[in-house]
Amino acid sequence: MFEVLAFVYENFYAEDSCPEPAHLQRKLSGVGFDPEEIADALDWLTGLGNAARFAKPAVAAIPTVLPAAGFHLPTTDSMRIYSPREQNHLRSECIGYLHFLDHAGITPAHIREVVLERAMAVQDGPVSLDELKIIILMVFWSFGQEPDALALDELCETHETRTIH
């Protein structure tokens, strides 16, 4: 599924350039992705659209339950405590990375919560750090935002491509 999501991000990043699900499914099939992976990715993207629609920044300061996603929107003074289920599904490497992004001001609380909701929606777990980075990019994309250049560079880098200076 993550190869499909990465392909969608790389090829349809420009706002409003992603085709409708049926058309996207045909494009992904034409490229050669497995039908099951395509279906999983399209379901995941539908969930992303629903979560992002309910978590827009204009309402992020109001603590509200998101009916479609089942989570509360945080306030600016909220402190995030990860449940045991989240800790098992994300592991310490991913939680540490989310903590880093949060304290660096890269992921506002409403984006972090959508990232967590979408990470928990991944059936196969635990989620790896590289998979989490794809989720983060997709969430920013769903909000029509792009992280700053240094954050984007960090999100697009994998352990295999990292050069230690």
Average pLDDT, consecutive stretches of 10 residues, N- to C-terminus, the chain (165 residues): 88 71 89 92 89 65 49 66 93 93 87 92 90 92 78 66 47
Domain count, the chain: 1
Considering the domain boundaries, does residue 133 fall inside one? Answer: yes
Identify whether 87 is part of a domain: yes
Count how many Cα atoms sit within 13 Å of the Cα of residue 45 in the half-sphere of its side chain: 24
Inter-CA distances, 70 with 27, 114, 153, 157, 164, Å: 32, 11, 31, 31, 41
Residue 161 lies in a domain: no
Looking at residue 53, its amino acid is: R
Q: What is the pLDDT of residue 55?
A: 72
SS3 for 17-48, per residue? CCCCHHHHHHHHHHHCCCHHHHHHHHHHHHHH
In a domain, 164, yes or no: no
Residue 72 within a domain: yes
* Residue in the block written with tokens 């310490």: 92
In a domain, 163, yes or no: no
User: Per the domain annotation, does 117 fall within a domain?
Assistant: yes
Q: pTM of the full predicted structure? A: 0.77
Domain that holds residue 81: 2-156
The verdict on residue 127 lying in a domain is: yes
